[in-house]
Structures are given as C-alpha cells and as structure tokens.
Amino acid sequence: MPPAPAFPVVLIGGGGHALVVAEALRAAGLEPAGFYDDNPLARLGRFTAAHAPAPRHLGTLAGIDLPPDVRYILALGDLPLRRRVAATLPYEQAVSVVHAEAFVAPSSRRGVGLFIGPRAVVHTLADLDDHAIINTAAVVEHECHVGEGAHIAPGAVLGGNVRVGPHALVGLGARVLPGVSIGARCVVGAGCVVLRDLPDDARVVGVPARHLSK
Ligand code: JB2
C-alpha cells in the first residue's frame, strides 16, 4: 500500500493535460483532491478510477484561494495561461508530479511544480526549472537545462547540453541537437530538427528547422 499523501493535491486545470497529470498521480497512489477550471464541466470532472470517483470542481482559475495545507500542480497545457495563473499562486505550495514509470537521474536538479510523464527520461545532471513539463516519452539528455515553465512535448528529444529557455515549447517528436540553445518563448514545431541556436521568440518548423516569418 503506498504511503498516504502528506497533503491533499489539487490540479489547476481540468482539460487534456489535467487528465494525464491525474493519471500520474493515481499511478503514485494519490487521488487528486479536486481541480480548478473556468469550465465546471471540464473533462477531468468525469475521470473516474476503479477505486475513486472523479475529482471535484473546486472553482475557477481567477482568484484561487488555496488553504495552507493544500498543494497544487499546474495542469494546464497552454504556456501563457500557465504563466499567468502561476503568478497568482503561492510558490511554496507547488508540488511536482513524476510518473511512476519515468526515469529521473538522481544527479539531476529539479525545481518545483514539475510534471514528468510516463517513459520520460531526465538524464544525468539535467537541470529543470520550476513548472517545466517533460511530457510522455520525452528525453532530456545529460546536462540539459530546461527553463521555467518550458514544455518538452511527447516524444521530443533534447541531446546532451541543450538549453531551453523559459516558457518555450519543443513540439511533439522534435529533435534538438547536442549543445544547441533554444531561446525564451520559442515554439519548435512537431517533428522539427533543430541544428542551430534559436533566439528568443523564434518559431520554427521543418527538417532542418527553418524560421516562420512573423
Ligand atoms: O484562457 C484559456 C482558458 N481558461 C481556462 N485558454 C485555454 N486554452 N484554456 C482555458 N481554460 C481551461 O483549460 C479550459 O476550460 C479547459 O478545461 C482547459 C484546457 O483544456 P484542453 O484539453 O483544451 O488543453 P490542455 O491545456 O489541458 O492540454 C493541452 O496541452 C497538453 C500539453 C492539449 O493540447 C493536450 O493535448 C496537450 N497534451
């Protein structure tokens, strides 16, 4: 029997990403204590488990007032929205959710509020800042740095020593070559192969990656 959680954990968001975060919590033996979403009928509210009812809707995203004994995980996939909501929440009450089937190297450094999905790899001496998402089967190789709130999407691979700036998105199945730096708020399209550094706010697609015009 897994140990009982020290604190109830609520999810901020109730859509697709929240479903995945809730599944990971359940895989760790924890039941989500509820969720906040502007839509009271969001999908998480129908996500039952064999042993548990669906998480309860607790309120909207504006003005979340968390009791001090409650912990939260941002479970919204939209990066600007995550950033806005994170700014309204108490830092010290954020928790990370790491799927039971992720590999996380003991030598890695991990901030708070992270989500690390099933079959994800966070390798030797990798450095993850707060609220980053390392999604299903993503690979963050040795000595990478993933900035605050950045999202490494399912199946994306960062070679060794890659730097990903805050609030950047490395899309589904994208590849970033070793040593490359991705600037803040960049969007790397699905399947892209990034060979060279990207400045802040770049948007790239294709193989090899090419910039989209504004
Ligand atoms: O301003 C808003 C907003 N306010 C509340 N913009 C957006 N996009 N969503 C808002 N919400 C709530 O966030 C919605 O009521 C809804 O319940 C939730 C978004 O759910 P959705 O399933 O559309 O997306 P998601 O953010 O949970 O997941 C996205 O990102 C994941 C990383 C999806 O693209 C997933 O496929 C992806 N895996």
Per-residue pLDDT tens digits for 64-92: 999 999 999 999 999 999 999 999 999 99
Residue having the nearest C-alpha atom to atom 2 of ligand 1: 81
Per-residue pLDDT tens digits for 107-166: 999 999 999 999 999 999 999 999 999 999 999 999 999 999 999 999 999 999 999 999
* CATH architecture designation of domain 96-197: 3 Solenoid (2.160)
Q: Could you state, in order of their start, the residue ranges of all structural domains in the chain? A: 9-93, 96-197
| Domain covering 9-93, topology | Rossmann fold (3.40.50)
As given in the structure block, the two tokens for residue 158 are 């960062």
Tell me how far CA of residue 124 lies from CA of 101, 114, 168, in angstroms.
17, 17, 22
Q: How buried is 57 (Cβ within 10 angstroms: 0-12 exposed, 13-18 middle, 19+ buried)?
A: middle
Task: Spell out which residues line ligand 1, taking CB within 6 angstroms.
Answer: 13-18, 37-39, 42, 61, 76-78, 81
* Best mutation site among 43, 47, 78 for ligand 1 pocket (most ligand atoms within 8 Å of CB): 78
pTM above 0.85, yes or no: yes
Q: What is the DSSP letter of 213?
A: P
- Counting from 1 in the atom list of ligand 1, the atom nearest the Cα of 135 is 32
Whole-number Å distance, alpha carbon 18 to ligand 1 midpoint, is 8
